[in-house]
Amino acid sequence: MHIGITNWAFWSGSVDHAELKSGTPGFLQSSETSVGKANLAGGLKPAWKRRLDLYGRAAAEVLGRTLDQDDNPYIVFASRHGNIERTVKLLHQVITDEVLSPADFGMSVHNAFVGIASINWSITESHTAVSAGPDSLLAGMTEAICQINDTNLPVILCYIDLPLPDVYKHLEPNNQLGAALAVRIDPVPGTHQPGSYAVEYHPTSDVAFGSVQNNAERLATFLESGTNHLTLSGTNGGWSFAKND
């Protein structure tokens, strides 16, 4: 099938030092370095922003950059681990017989961030939260493309994962950075419309297995550069993108 991609935003780094980019396919509109937590989520009302840690603020920043004025898109939110810092904090409170923090409990729910985003930006269309292990970004892309095909309405795919806390560091590659990506996907009339993308799903046997950790960065680089072809592969299959001339 064929889809349009209107704009994208990508954040990568840590709490005090990160890179933030946004643009349209083939055109970099904004690029910032040394972006700290306090500089993120400027589009949120202060009362909502105060509730969010780095996880929520990075996700809010990229999502906000892909929204249009008076927008009401579907949202597909994808994250492998969710807000695991809050989850680990809650587990520690359980183990030590401390009183659980209501704020941490509420914000540890997998779709808590996208609920806040919907309220903040008055988005009334439905949102979907996806978690599929190392294939979470690919699963989110699958859900977004299926929704486009079903509704013929715009969908924003928002993905985020931060490095695991120290207690789980042995489960992921060293020096793993946090990444947040938002991509606005639009339906296109007919096929082969210039600037749109032909997308195709491939089962695992048809694609070479790649590093699922950097798929968000690879997709952002592809959209920034405006190149013609990309294949994102994971443990259970992959998506190929071919730009229509």
* Cα–Cα separations (whole angstroms), residue 58 to 170, 188, 193: 24, 29, 33
- Answer for the pair 117, 55: CB distance below 8 angstroms, yes or no: no
| % residues pLDDT > 70 (the chain) | 94
User: pLDDT at residue 78 above 80?
Assistant: yes
Residues 169-193, mean pLDDT to the nearest whole number: 83
pLDDT band at 65 (very low <50, low <70, confident <90, very high): very high
Residue 177: per-residue pLDDT:
81
Q: Is the pLDDT of residue 81 over 80?
A: yes
In the predicted model, is pLDDT for residue 187 greater than 80? yes
Residue type, 182: A
Residue with the larger pLDDT of the pair 192 and 241: 241
Whether 216 has a pLDDT exceeding 90, the answer reads yes
Q: What is the pLDDT of residue 99?
A: 86
Host H or E run for residue 77: strand 74-78
Give the amino acid at 189: P
CA–CA gap between residue 229 and residue 144 (Å, rounded): 19
Instruction: Please give the CATH superfamily to which domain 2-187 belongs.
Output: Thiolase/Chalcone synthase (3.40.47.10)
DSSP class of residue 191?
S
Q: What is the pLDDT of residue 193?
A: 78
Count CB-CB contacts under 10 A for residue 85: 18
**Which segments within 81-228 are labelled E, that is strand?**
127-130, 155-161, 178-187, 197-202
pTM of this structure: 0.92
How far, in whole angstroms, is CA 109 from its chain's centroid? 16
Question: 30: pLDDT confidence band, cut at 50, 70 and 90?
Answer: very high
Model confidence band, residue 182 (pLDDT cutoffs 50, 70, 90): very high
* Maximum mean pLDDT: which of 92-101, 141-150, 164-173: 141-150
